[in-house]
Amino acid sequence: MERILHFDKSEYAKRLAAVKAEMSTRGLDILLVSEPPNQNYLTGYDAYSFYTPQMAIVALDRDEPIMITRGMDAMSSRITTYLSEDSIRGFPDSYVNSTERSAYDYVAKVVQEIGGDKGAIGVEMGGYYYSARAHADLVKALPEARFDDADLLINWIRLVKSPAELVFMRQSGLIGDAVINRVVEMAAPGVRECDLAAAAYHQEISGTPEFGGSYNSSVVHLCIGERALAPHSTWTDKPLSNNTVINFEVHGTRRRYQINVSRTVYLGKPSDEYLKLADIAIEALNAGLDSVQPDKTCSEVFAAFQKVMARNGIQKDQRIGYPIGIGYPPSVAERTASIRREEKTILKPGMCFHMMTGLWLGDQSVTITQPFAVTDGGYEPLTHTPRKLFVK
């Protein structure tokens, strides 16, 4: 059977070593990894199977993680990971959606098998895929273990991308450019919103002539007309009308590495006031980007953006950036550093962010954003569509 590995095994070994080093620092013997992006990061595992319980287990005294999935999904472990057969486990379907037994009892048995039932176990308490029921079942099944919150342990390690990961981030950016161009070209009075969304999805998955894309971790956001004042709207089946603002956020996803990017299209003739708002947004975005340097803090980047805003009498209290990388539903954001006023995280080469500087002000809004990677000398844009307001 041919395995589909997107990185050399040495890359996975470095990641595992970094995770184990942090586990040792925290006094953890076992780490239970419930978040799909973190499972992918450590093992390469990739399947749309996270709607049932699945867990990667990292043990300090074990050479490779154990990947536990539903039994029928164990084949995906064999195809997409480097793991040996002994490290691939599938639980019987009698555990799936059962009111009588818990898949976490199966996980607990594997923990017992590797001698972790009396040790310190880290779990991702704040993860999207670690429920209160999951935790209660594990605590009950492993009464002599000590459970510690290890949420974001892997996320902080993932924050700095390797050169191999940056290759996929750049490719996802090229897909993002193609999606933006497709939406801008198609947007016109009379086109139904749902058809515009369908075109965006088609391009996201079709990708570029050189490489295809994949499903992303979020929906396409089409914030149109009155809904342009809401940052996370989706589409209707109404036709687009003239003199309409279209704020849209789309994605490029390449081998689970994802970028997010937004642009605004104005159908018709915008007012001078609106054109000025767009110019301010672009100037502030560029000021934030130009301030990016290794060893600067996220708050210093926010300050450069806010300086332009303040000079124009505008206050933006929301964060203007979040880290991006491996993306699975419901979010691509790594839940670690944010570019905002109080964030003291220091930038390092290899970190990737979506600088999301959208403005929603009273009855006007504009969203012109930029995904980027921190470099030794500043920043590298991950998309290359002009940072401008599109007027049609």
Mean pLDDT score, 250-273: 98
- Residue 351 DSSP class: B
Mean pLDDT score, 124-149: 97
CA distance 323 to 335: 7
> What pTM value is reported for the model?
0.96
The whole-number pLDDT of residue 260 equals: 98
Instruction: Check whether 362 has a pLDDT greater than 90.
Output: no
Instruction: Check whether 224 has a pLDDT greater than 80.
Output: yes
pLDDT class of 2 with cuts at 50, 70, 90: confident
Using an 8 Å Cβ cutoff, are 383 and 177 in contact? yes
- Residue 377 DSSP class: S
Rg (CA), the chain: 23
When the pLDDT of each residue in the chain is averaged and rounded to a whole number, the result is 97
Instruction: Check whether 83 has a pLDDT greater than 90.
Output: yes
Pairing of strands 120-123, 88-91: unpaired
The pLDDT > 90 percentage for the chain reads: 98
The pLDDT > 70 percentage for the chain reads: 100
Q: Give the type of residue at 181.
A: N
The whole-number pLDDT of residue 317 equals: 87
The whole-number pLDDT of residue 168 equals: 98
The whole-number pLDDT of residue 1 equals: 76
The DSSP secondary structure of 237-267, one letter per residue, reads: SPBP-SSEEEEEEEEEEETTEEEEEEEEEEE
The DSSP secondary structure of 176-209, one letter per residue, reads: HHHHHHHHHHH--TT-BHHHHHHHHHHHHHH--S
**Domains, the chain, ranges and CATH?**
9-158 (3.40.350.10), 163-391 (3.90.230.10)
Query: What are the φ/ψ torsions at residue 165 (nearest 5 degrees)?
Result: -65, -35
pLDDT digits (tens, 9 = 90+) for 179-206: 999 999 999 999 999 999 999 999 999 9
Mean pLDDT score, 318-327: 97
